[in-house]
Structure 1
Amino acid sequence: MGKICRKPFALLFITAILFGTLGGCDKSPSKTGTLMDFVPENASMVFKISNLKNLQADIEANSLLSMFEKTGPYLFFAEKSVFFKKLHPTAQSLLCINILNDSVSAFTFISKHTENLFQVDSIKNKTVETLQIDKKSFQRITIDASKSGRSPEIAYTAQIDSVFVISSSQKILQDILKGKTERDATFKKVFNLPSSNGFTALMRGNRIAVADSTKIDFTSWSALDVAIAPESLTATGITLATDSIPQLLNVFKEQVPQHNDVAALVPTDALGALSFTFNDAEAFQNNLRTFRGENPILKTTGIFGSVSEVGSISLKSETAIFIKSIDPSLTNDALARFVSSKSMFRETEISSFSEPDLFQKTFSPFINYKKANYVFQLENFFVFTESEETAAQIISSFQNNATLKNTSYFKNTAQDLSSASSLLIFKMQGEFSETISDFFNSKSRADFKNISFDKFPLAALQFSFDRNFAHVTLSCKESGGATKSISGRVSEKFNIQLENPLLGNPHVVKGKNGSVKIVVQDIGNKLYFISESGKILWSKNLGAPILGKIEEVEISGGNQIAFVTQDTFYILDRNGKDVKGFPIKFKDKITRPLSVFDYDNNRNYRFVVVQDKEVFMYDKNGKTVKGFGFNKTQSSIVLSPVHIRMGNKDYIVIAEENGKLNILSRVGKPRISISKKFNFSDIPIAEEDNNFVVITKENTKERIAQDGKVSTLKLNVGNNYWFLVEENTKVTKDDNLLRINGKLVELPLGLYTVPKLFNIGRKTYITITETQEKKVYVFDKNGETLNGFPVYGTSEAAMGEGSSTGLVVKGEANSIVFYGIN
């Protein structure tokens, strides 16, 4: 970090492809005392951060941003700097970036002062000096990092009333102490925009890269709410232009955003595309002439009178221009005097075009291309190229449906975009590196030398003009590989192989930002946490197999996973870290899977661990629940304890090897006395019609009323019977006969896993796998098979909901298959 740092824009690098930074200010003083009042003059970027530690964890987990860990900009957010490690804000904070020259930037961090905000006392090898200039005192902190081979880190701190400020620049801190802070009225407007997001980026003097990468003044300030997930970076917000200086956004004034269809034309191997729209061609051209400082009454051809979308497509060899007509016959008539037939390719006529610089004259700076030598028509598109070879390439891609619109990654990105916009920019094939290095610093190309963006096939930036501002959307997502279409509603998202064969069945748990995560263990006892795109986010060696199911809990924000091995009780957060108070180690062997009780659905969990005859109950802090009085059974416990609620009463049910069924209250006292003994099977004890249900090894169904009376029903079923009931859904399996809420589903003869039931949103799904033919079936609660099933799989399947409903199952011995269900 220190006094000088490289430019800190890794977080919004896709925007960097298109935006640069420039300012203006109003010197009137402010006395409001908000964090905004301490933002340094001429800050190029200001990040509003709700939770610094969560943000740092999100950035380190993001597969794109983590590529920048060896670059200077990454240090602003990752905990690589000693100073940032010691910052612990408890409320919103600001990180401000000032560009000092072409290669040097400074940071300033601002937050409300709290007792443990900046723990300077714990920093080793430091020198703290108190300085006073112009009667303003502040501290200079120098950290000697010579032992690690790094240069010393220097920062300057001050407390101004209730606000703490730390900066890498002494001058910036002194200016803040003197009240020389950001007064720009547009900045104040974007700063005060409401946001429900935990991370917002404010960017000054935005520039946009168009045509031949020339960067043009676009707007004054932008405010983007940024969402960081492990495989994606998305942002939404607004950008503001002023009338005092020429800014490109203003050419869209009084133009209604039109539908963008360029994705239907762009070949999948293109490097990018730019599309802009208008509803009044003449007014739009006049706005462009005014922006360029030209005579607004200069006449051009009438080709564009029936056009609503224009743009360019960047290919590996050259650039193509396109226009989209709302009336192709009118456009053909307008083009007639400029074209002459040249050749045919796959029944498409390619004509020479006599005005190759027309688009540069008309639409500069959006288009600076002067080699539109050939033209051809594809439906309502008219495409202009430099060569016939490129024309043939685009025609082939269009006819073979090998265009951006038909890719899974575009469909994934399109969910974030509006169908209509003023300006839309695509960057494809991960071809960002040179642009990024230019944006960061011409001297920092080495930082990007070994960074590959191949897993990010598409980045999109969209602007939709609305009165005197534009809505902005940014989307960049990692591709999970080519999506393999299976049938109608189902697609194979990924099929990955682990180092060793799998142990047990894969599990699905909730992730952040509406995603799902897959959790699985291999025979080496390594636990894997995998994204829905197939990326291994982390792994952890446990030393022993997990017993039974992995449970999902919410203890301290976000989702955690809870489970036991034969000697340890774990609760891990979504980054694979132990939750405070865990793990809990045991000397004696744990004999049953973990039980999790949430009596009142308020996340005040009770965790039950079984060691043969002994029962231990813990709270969410890992402390023993002292109010639970049931400690030991007479014989070994044969099933994990379950919690059943009937009416307003809670019951804890514990089955013993000697046939005794203990039905207890919350505090562990006997609640129902049962004289009958049962030969318990592996089927968990359930609740049906306000009765406890026990399925015995003799295939009897024992119904136990709340007064302790028992009724017995002999089941005429085979040895592979299973019983499952949850809320309003009841499922039974008798060999290949599956019944769902009474409806019989006769499956092909085979060997089936036990059925599993999943409630996702407002829908209920039942999964079952035939292990010989390796087929996974999914049914709804009406007993109807979902379209596209069965699919390949060899184990019990688990389901969850992310960007779409997903199903995970074991494939071969060491592989995991994840399916998306639309």
Structure 2
Amino acid sequence: MRKLALLFCLLFILIKCEKAPTTDTSLLHLIPQKSAAIIRVPYWEDFSESLKANDPANLLSETNLDQTLLEYSELFKNFKPVDETYLSFVALGDNDYDLALITESNPKLVSKDSVFINSISTYDYEGVSINTITIHDTPLHYLNYNSIFIASTSKLILENAILQNNTGRDPIDASLEKMIKTSNAQRANLYLKGSRFKKLFRTIIPKFKFSSNTTPFEWLAVDIDLNTVGSLQLNGVATTSNDGKQALDLLKNMDPAKSKIASITPSTSRGFISFNYSDWETYRTNLAIYKNAAPKEFKIPFSEYFQSTAETGIIYKENEQLIVSLSSDVETSTISLASVSTEKENFRDIPIYAISDSTFLQKAFGELLDPPAVQFYSAIDSYFVFAKNPTLLKDLIANYQNEAVLANTVSFIAFASKMSDESTLSFYGNTKHLADYISEKVDKKEAATLKDIDFKNYPESFLQLIQADDFTYLNAAVHKINQKKEGSQVVQVASVKLDNDLLSPPQMLKNYRTKGQDILVQDISNILYRINSSGKIEWKKELDGPILGKIKQVDLYKNGRLQYAFTTPSHFYIIASDGDLVKPFDIDYTDKITQPLAAFDYDGSRDYRFLIVQNDNVTMLDREAKKVDGFLYKKAPAEILQEAQHIRLGNKDYILFQLKSGKLEILNRRGETRIPLKEKFTFSNNPVFEDSNNFLVLETDGTPITISQSGKITRQKPKLGAGFQFDKLNETEASLVENKLIINKRNQEIELGIYTGLHVKYASNKSYICVTDLQEKRVFIYDDKGNLLPSFPVYGASKIDFGALKSSKDLGFTTQGESDSVIIYQIN
């Protein structure tokens, strides 16, 4: 996967150059000895035009790499090759390269432009004229000699070519010559020198670190297929020195097979690498030779385990890795690990084991796959999955059980159909996630450019290595995939373990930087956690008691930076996004606070009013924590039952209090009665809803009551019935009684269960209805027409909170998992 990026990058210099036919491989004898990469073009103009028209090739057109190569290509703009042409990148040092363009002379090759001609200076070397011109402060040298044309940024390259011709010396690499002569002469070809590959790669991604300094191959030859505008296909072959010491020698005599790792890879993964080995002993022999050991005496720990498996790979999560082995004999695999395994916990009926040897997979596959050290594993059907912590295993188990795996996505299925059915080593990458990963390895400007590239039409990239006939064949591609047919998947992003059990369901709150959401949750020790959308705990804060109701978000300083506001039974807190207290909102109360904090922003001006309720006493504070003397409602005639509400109908503001006496107080901003009501109500646990410019109250037996702004009270039919749940948001309403779910007057029966948390949420311009079955621990989400969303239900043990997760467009939700864990899901 990492190597594929380089193959794409080296092509962009050609998009700026020009012209046409014939094939003559005699030119290859002039290729400089220290060439790290060589591009051969048989039909220059055709290739240039194809590259310009190829959509995948143009995705990176705004990157620093392309801009640098554009500057290089400007050096050659005055030359128009007609015949076969070689473009060589010649190593100068670790991160510096000269360029050389080699082709046959023709009368129209050099521009006749007078400005160009008059700027040329010439000197004689061994009887041959070498011309020099400076372009953008860079000297460029060229010669026409014996029907050969060479242009280069280095005088030495030209002088060596002249000496080579005069002395009859031929420095051509025999392996390269063989590769070039057997390449597809009708296509452009790319050749990479194995001994210089890693240094060349780091000129593109400077912060990348290879796991070893071993040379991967001797030469890699790639045919470049640009015939389809929406596809970039690379096919080629790699050679090794046959001494067993290069990385690809580890694949010798390994028959290809169909990879199955995609069937357990979560669909949000950055990618995977997979190695198929039907004959473990052949691989063990290859590894022995690679390590200078005698094959008959070379031992690998847990050989019985490896002999019972046929495929091992690495799944790359955002910042973590898991190792997966596919077992062909689960019983033998289990027995072979028993001596180093201790069961630690059980997650959804699947045991999670601690393993005492954390490096045995590294000893077997360190040179080929570079696996991490592991401390835990689980057996899931025929897969053995290893990770450094149980949380990674739980996420994978959850996604596997929810069928939210790569092999089930429409885009992967479409892409895989274009690749070979069988491979020896395969690399898969999600292009967007891969770009995000690479952006961490380059400078900030380049990182920003990469993150802005829209990969939605090219979601996948693939590279396969297929061992056959003593060669390693390469097959790599980026294809345009139609995303319209993609069905939604519910993917578990993270399962976050807290220090203690949850006190209340987790809540999603806006992250003003990312425009996505963070998760806030409190445990039974009154510790408040902030967790980002990827599942990382960013901070913890100890509070003096349980948070009452929902946390509110406010913008006290009117600068877009949001804070968290809430009360406990004895305290009023406002906390900044970094976890620090916002003074002066660190207020102790002697008398118990009995209802959640109410925060009003009447006109959207962020001149907040905060209401503190202590039984029947009401205190209103402003955004500076000062009492609002103009608010006259200081004491209610009875205990207040719920959080105070602010409802705006037309241009009028109403403040509402439900009282234990059954009275509903409807006040104005000053705390004076705005709508006097004589009738009393048996309030349910629901708030008062807005309904067609009226107020809607629901009594305990489910009787709906509307109250007009003039004070008219109307009791409606039918009653919902005892034990009902109800919610309403704008024009969408939902109710649930036992197993009868009604969404916008559409009735349906659902399975019997113990349901909680019915509520309506609005996100991405749509309304959704959420509910959780506590008996079976299942979460359901419906659209506003009453249709259950695809891939639901999924596991969840509490009311959920739902909204845009990682950005303003990505939907997701959070719920309780185990008693001490928070689950974050993303809907793809």
Q: TM-score under structure 2 normalisation?
A: 0.50
**Hey, what does 2:628 align to over in structure 1?**
none
**Hey, what does 2:517 align to over in structure 1?**
none
Residue 172, structure 1, aligned to residue 157, structure 2: yes
Gap change, CA 1:483 and 1:326, over 3 Å in 2: same
Gap change, CA 1:285 and 1:367, over 3 Å in 2: same
Residue 201, structure 1, aligned to residue 202, structure 2: no
Offset of residue 277 of structure 1: 1.7
Gap change, CA 1:69 and 1:15, over 3 Å in 2: closer
1:152-180 CA-partner distances (Å, limit 9, x unpaired)? 24321112322211112111121112227
Gap change, CA 1:42 and 1:52, over 3 Å in 2: same
Contact 1:256 1:279 in 2 (8 A): yes
SS of 1:420's equivalent in the other structure is coil
CA distance in 1, matches of 2:359, 2:249: 24
Which of 172, 176, 180 aligns to 1:183? It is 172
Matched ranges for 1:614-625 at <5 A:
none
SS of 2:35's equivalent in the other structure is coil
CA distance in 1, matches of 2:115, 2:55: 31
**Hey, what does 1:377 align to over in structure 2?**
379
Moved more, 252-261 or 49-58: 49-58
Residue 117, structure 1, aligned to residue 115, structure 2: no
Gap change, CA 1:36 and 1:90, over 3 Å in 2: same
Residue 356, structure 1, aligned to residue 348, structure 2: no
Contact 1:17 1:436 in 2 (8 A): no
Gap change, CA 1:169 and 1:447, over 3 Å in 2: farther
Contact 1:107 1:168 in 2 (8 A): yes
1:548-583 CA-partner distances (Å, limit 9, x unpaired)? xxxxxxxxxxxxxxxxxxxxxxxxxxxxxxxxxxxx
**Hey, what does 2:219 align to over in structure 1?**
221
Aligned length: 456
**Hey, what does 1:716 align to over in structure 2?**
none
CA distance in 2, matches of 1:312, 1:434: 19
CA distance in 2, matches of 1:427, 1:36: 35
Contact 1:43 1:182 in 2 (8 A): no
Task: Kindly provide the amino acid, as one letter, of the partner of residue 218 in structure 1.
Answer: P
CA distance in 2, matches of 1:404, 1:186: 39
CA distance in 2, matches of 1:199, 1:247: 27
Residue 471, structure 1, aligned to residue 456, structure 2: no
Offset of residue 88 of structure 1: 2.5
Contact 1:38 1:110 in 2 (8 A): yes
**Hey, what does 1:309 align to over in structure 2?**
311
Gap change, CA 1:216 and 1:234, over 3 Å in 2: farther
Matched ranges for 1:130-279 at <5 A:
130-143=122-135, 151-179=136-164, 182-195=171-184, 197-205=186-194, 213-214=211-212, 216-228=214-226, 229-244=228-243, 246-279=245-278
Offset of residue 379 of structure 1: 2.5
Contact 2:183 2:189 in 1 (8 A): no
Residue 108, structure 1, aligned to residue 109, structure 2: no
CA distance in 1, matches of 2:437, 2:162: 37
CA distance in 1, matches of 2:326, 2:163: 56
CA distance in 2, matches of 1:450, 1:50: 33
SS of 2:106's equivalent in the other structure is coil
Matched ranges for 1:707-786 at <5 A:
none
CA distance in 1, matches of 2:487, 2:145: 60
- Structure 2: which 5+ residue stretches go unaligned? 12-23, 202-207, 489-828
CA distance in 1, matches of 2:328, 2:431: 30
Contact 1:270 1:429 in 2 (8 A): no
1:205-251 CA-partner distances (Å, limit 9, x unpaired)? 16589997546421100111112344432200100001247101112
CA distance in 2, matches of 1:437, 1:192: 38
Task: Kindly provide the amino acid, as one letter, of the partner of residue 401 in structure 1.
Answer: E
Gap change, CA 1:396 and 1:435, over 3 Å in 2: closer
CA distance in 1, matches of 2:429, 2:419: 15
CA distance in 1, matches of 2:213, 2:416: 26
Offset of residue 282 of structure 1: 2.8
SS of 2:121's equivalent in the other structure is strand
RMSD (Å) for aligned C-alpha atoms? 3.5
CA distance in 1, matches of 2:354, 2:25: 66
**Hey, what does 2:674 align to over in structure 1?**
none
Q: TM-score under structure 1 normalisation?
A: 0.51
CA distance in 1, matches of 2:73, 2:107: 21
| Max Rg structure | 2
Offset of residue 123 of structure 1: 5.0
CA distance in 2, matches of 1:40, 1:16: 23
Offset of residue 74 of structure 1: 3.1
CA distance in 1, matches of 2:26, 2:421: 39
CA distance in 2, matches of 1:379, 1:276: 19
Contact 1:345 1:392 in 2 (8 A): yes
Matched ranges for 1:792-807 at <5 A:
none
Contact 2:311 2:327 in 1 (8 A): yes
SS of 1:396's equivalent in the other structure is helix
Gap change, CA 1:462 and 1:126, over 3 Å in 2: farther
Gap change, CA 1:435 and 1:57, over 3 Å in 2: farther
Contact 2:377 2:385 in 1 (8 A): yes
Contact 1:211 1:365 in 2 (8 A): no
- Structure 1: which 5+ residue stretches go unaligned? 1-9, 20-31, 144-150, 487-822
Gap change, CA 1:245 and 1:332, over 3 Å in 2: closer
Offset of residue 266 of structure 1: 1.3
Gap change, CA 1:43 and 1:130, over 3 Å in 2: same
Matched ranges for 1:571-586 at <5 A:
none
**Hey, what does 1:13 align to over in structure 2?**
5
CA distance in 2, matches of 1:116, 1:64: 32
CA distance in 2, matches of 1:181, 1:430: 46
**Hey, what does 1:35 align to over in structure 2?**
27
Offset of residue 454 of structure 1: 5.1
CA distance in 2, matches of 1:204, 1:173: 21
Contact 2:31 2:88 in 1 (8 A): yes
Gap change, CA 1:113 and 1:370, over 3 Å in 2: closer
**Hey, what does 1:451 align to over in structure 2?**
450
Moved more, 255-264 or 177-186: 177-186
Task: Kindly provide the amino acid, as one letter, of the partner of residue 220 in structure 2.
Answer: S
Gap change, CA 1:211 and 1:47, over 3 Å in 2: closer
1:71-102 CA-partner distances (Å, limit 9, x unpaired)? 56536875984443333223321111112123
Gap change, CA 1:37 and 1:371, over 3 Å in 2: closer
Matched ranges for 1:258-407 at <5 A:
258-294=257-293, 296=295, 297-299=297-299, 300-301=301-302, 302-407=304-409
Residue 411, structure 1, aligned to residue 403, structure 2: no
SS of 1:224's equivalent in the other structure is strand
Gap change, CA 1:484 and 1:72, over 3 Å in 2: closer
Gap change, CA 1:211 and 1:111, over 3 Å in 2: closer
CA distance in 1, matches of 2:313, 2:272: 7
1:760-808 CA-partner distances (Å, limit 9, x unpaired)? xxxxxxxxxxxxxxxxxxxxxxxxxxxxxxxxxxxxxxxxxxxxxxxxx
CA distance in 2, matches of 1:458, 1:212: 23
Contact 2:414 2:481 in 1 (8 A): no
Matched ranges for 1:587-606 at <5 A:
none
